[in-house]
Amino acid sequence: MKNKEVAEIFRKVAALLEIKGDNPYRIRAYQRAAQNIEALTVELEELAAQGKLERIPGIGKDLAQKIKEILETGTLEKYEELKREIPPELLKFLEIPGFGPKKAKVVYETLGIKTIEELEKACKEHRLSQLPGFGPKTEENILKGIRLLKQKKGRLPLGLVLPWAEEIVSLLKKRSPVDRIDIAGSIRRRRETVKDIDILVTSKDPLKVMEVFVSLPMVEEVLLKGETKSSVRLRYEGIQVDLRVVDPVCYGAALAYFTGSKAHNIRIRELGVQRGLKINEYGIFRGQERIGGQEEEEVFEAVGLPWIPPELREDRGEIEAAQAGRLPRLVEYDEVIGDAHVHSKWSDGSSSIEEIAAFARKLGLKWVGICDHSQGLKVAGGLPIEKIGEKKEAIRNFNKRSKDVKLLCGTEVDILADGSLDYPDEVLKEFDLVIASIHSGFKQDEQTLTERIVSAMKNPFVHCIGHPTGRLLGEREPYPVNIERLIKVAAETKTALEINAYYKRLDLNDIHSRAAKEAGVKLLIGTDAHIVDQMSYLHLGVAVARRGWCERDDILNTLDYKEFLNHLREITAWKLKARS
C-alpha cells in the first residue's frame, strides 16, 4: 500500500517546484501522476514487478524510474534536495486547499507568518488584503481552505480506508486464530468519510490475536495493547484502528453497538427500556439475566423490529419505517450490472474500449457507458465532432462480437458557461447516452449556475446530469447550486441524476439521492473511471444509493442493456414530445 506515499511525494515535489517557479509543464506532470497513482486500486509494487508502471496515465520513463526509487528507498533524492532549499513552514501552507505556492511564498516572506494559526488570525484581521495581488476574496478563500483542511485532517474518504480495513481483516484471518470477524463503525454503515477503523473479533486465544494485530506491517505506532481492546495508528494517513475481542455469546450485541450510529443506538436502547430490557454491547438483559445477543438479529427482534441494513442506521426515520413494516428493499450490490460513466482512449482515459469491457466482465457487469469528454474540454482530450463517427463504429463492431458485455456510445458533454452544450443537438442525438456536466465556471453565483444546469436538463438529448454538485471530498466544496430546484426540474424533465462513484466525488451524496428518489427522479451510477481499475469503485455508488434509501427501481444501472437503451430512448422521445 505504498501508492499513497508515492503520490504524496509527487504532490509535494510539484508544490516545491511551483514555489521555485519551475516549468509549469513539469509541475503539472507531477500533479497528474500523483492524482492517477492515488486513484489506482492495484499496488504500484505489483505494477513495478510486472514492468507495467508506464501503463499508468501520465507516467513515462522518467516518472516510472522515480516511482521505483521511492519504492526501493522510501524517498526521492530530488525531493530531499528541494526540501533542503525551501523552508518547512512554507510546505505546511501548501496543504491548505486553494492556497497556491506563489501566494504562500508572498505571505511567508513579507508578513513573516509561519504557522497556519497565525495565517488564520492574519486573514481574520484582514492583514493579507493589503498585499499586492491579494484581496478580501483571497482571505475568504484561505479561511475556507483552512476549514476544509481541518475537516480533512479528521476524516478520510471511505473509498480510501475500506481497502485498508479489508487488508487488515484478511491478514488477521490468515495469521491469527480469529473465529468471527467484522468491520464495524462508520465503514460498515458506508458513510462517505470515516474517522477510524473499528474491527470486532471472537477468538479462543485473544492474546495471540492482539499480538499479531499490533505487529502487522502497516502499523506505525501501538497506542494501546490489552486483552480485549488494542489500538494502533497506521502508516496510512495516521489513521487509528481499534480492535476488540468479544465474547461469542454477545458478538451480535457488540456488532450492533459498534456499528452505530450513536443516534441509532440510542433509539434502540430506548425501545429496549420501554420493554423492560437493557441493551448494550454486552448483550440483551432482563434484570441480571442475559436473554440474548449472540446474533445481531436478536437485538432488533428484542425490540420488535426486523433487521435493519447498516447503511440505514442513522436515525433518519429507519426505526419508524421498521416499526411500520415499511423499510425499503434496498438495491443490492449485485443488482447493479452496469457502469454508466467511463472515459476511454477516445478522450482522456487511458484504456481502450476492449480493456474496459474485459474489466467489466471481471467485475460481473453486463454493460458500460463509454462517456468521453466533448470537444471543448481540450485539457481532457475532448472528442472532436469529426471523430465521433469513428468511435461509434468501433463500439458497434465491438458489440457485434461481444456476446456478454455490451458498450454504449456515450458522451460526457460539457455544459458551457451560458448553459448551452458543447455539441449541437444533431450531434448529441447520435449518442446512446448523454451525460451533461459542469467542468468550469464554478465561481458563478447560485442562480446562474443552477439555471445553467436547468437549461441542460431541458435539452431533449440529455439523459443525465453528471456529478451534480461538483464537490471533491476534502478538496473542494460543492459549487453553489440549488439542489432542490435541480431535483424538481429533473423530475419534471425525466432527466436522471448521476451518483458519481469516484471515491472523492460521491456526488450526488446520500441525502440528495434520497431527496431525488422521493421526487421520483431516477439515479444513474457511474464511476467516472479514467483507467479501468477505477471501475472497482462502482460499489461506493451503490452504497450511496443504499444510504439514500434507494430501491432497485430507482437505479437505472439495474436494467439490462436492452432495457437501459430503451429507457434512454424513451427519455428523449418524451422530452421531444413535451417540447412540441
Residues that bind ligand DGT (CB under 6 A): 185-186, 191, 194-196, 198, 257-258, 260-262, 265-266
Residue 242 binds to Ca ion (criterion: CB under 5 A):
no
Residue 198 binds to Ca ion (criterion: CB under 5 A):
yes
For residues 240 and 255, the answer to whether their CB atoms sit within 8 Å is no
Helices (H), 231-280: 251-259, 262-274
Residue closer to Zn ion by CB (options 257, 502) is 502
Q: From the list Zn ion, Ca ion, ligand DGT, none, which binds 437 (C-beta under 5 to 8 Å, kind-based)?
A: Zn ion
DSSP category for residue 533 = G
Q: From the list Zn ion, Ca ion, ligand DGT, none, which binds 257 (C-beta under 5 to 8 Å, kind-based)?
A: ligand DGT
| Integer Cα distance of 199 and 45 in angstroms | 27
| Integer Cα distance of 417 and 208 in angstroms | 61
Across the beta sheet with 178-183, the strand order is 178-183, 196-203, 240-245, 229-234, 219-225
Closest distance to Zn ion from the beta carbon of 140 (Å): 26
Closest distance to Zn ion from the beta carbon of 439 (Å): 6
Residue closer to ligand DGT by CB (options 467, 547) is 547
For residues 399 and 370, the answer to whether their CB atoms sit within 8 Å is no
Residue nearest Zn ion (C-beta atom): 437
Residue closer to ligand DGT by CB (options 194, 357) is 194
| CA 562, 564, 566, 568 torsion-angle sign | negative
Residue 24 burial (CB count, 10 A): 10
| Integer Cα distance of 187 and 185 in angstroms | 5
Closest distance to ligand DGT from the beta carbon of 261 (Å): 5
Residues 6+ apart with CB under 8 A from 84: none
Residue 314 binds to Ca ion (criterion: CB under 5 A):
no
Q: Up-side HSE of residue 12: CA atoms within 13 Å toward CB?
A: 21
Residue closer to ligand DGT by CB (options 120, 315) is 315
Q: Which of 68, 71, 67, 74 is nearest to 10 (CA)?
A: 67
Q: From the list ligand DGT, Zn ion, Ca ion, none, which binds 258 (C-beta under 5 to 8 Å, kind-based)?
A: ligand DGT
Residue closer to Zn ion by CB (options 437, 557) is 437
Question: Considering only 178-186, 283-291, 519-527, 563-571, which stretch makes contact with Ca ion by CB under 5 A?
Answer: 178-186
Q: Which residues contact Zn ion (rule: CB under 5 A)?
A: 437
Closest distance to ligand DGT from the beta carbon of 544 (Å): 16
Question: Considering only 47-55, 66-74, 183-191, 375-383, which stretch makes contact with Ca ion by CB under 5 A?
Answer: 183-191
Closest distance to Ca ion from the beta carbon of 517 (Å): 27
Residue closer to Ca ion by CB (options 198, 414) is 198
Residue closer to Zn ion by CB (options 513, 527) is 527
Q: Up-side HSE of residue 260: CA atoms within 13 Å toward CB?
A: 17
Burial of 204-226, coded b for 16+ CB within 10 Å and e otherwise, reads: eebeebbebbbebebbeeeeeee
Q: From the list ligand DGT, Ca ion, Zn ion, none, which binds 402 (C-beta under 5 to 8 Å, kind-based)?
A: none
- Give the C-alpha distances (Å, rounded to integers) separating 48 from 52, 74, 93: 6, 15, 33
Helices (H), 474-560: 483-493, 510-518, 538-547
For residues 369 and 391, the answer to whether their CB atoms sit within 8 Å is no
Residue 507 binds to Ca ion (criterion: CB under 5 A):
no
Residue closer to Zn ion by CB (options 36, 437) is 437
Residue nearest ligand DGT (C-beta atom): 260
Residue closer to ligand DGT by CB (options 310, 470) is 310
Residue 196 binds to Ca ion (criterion: CB under 5 A):
yes
Closest distance to Ca ion from the beta carbon of 121 (Å): 32
Interactions with Ca ion, residue window 407-446 (CB under 5 A) = none
The strand pairing partners of 198, in sequence order, are 242
Q: Which of 58, 97, 185, 410 binds Ca ion (CB under 5 A)?
A: 185
* Residues making contact with Ca ion (CB under 5 A): 185-186, 196, 198
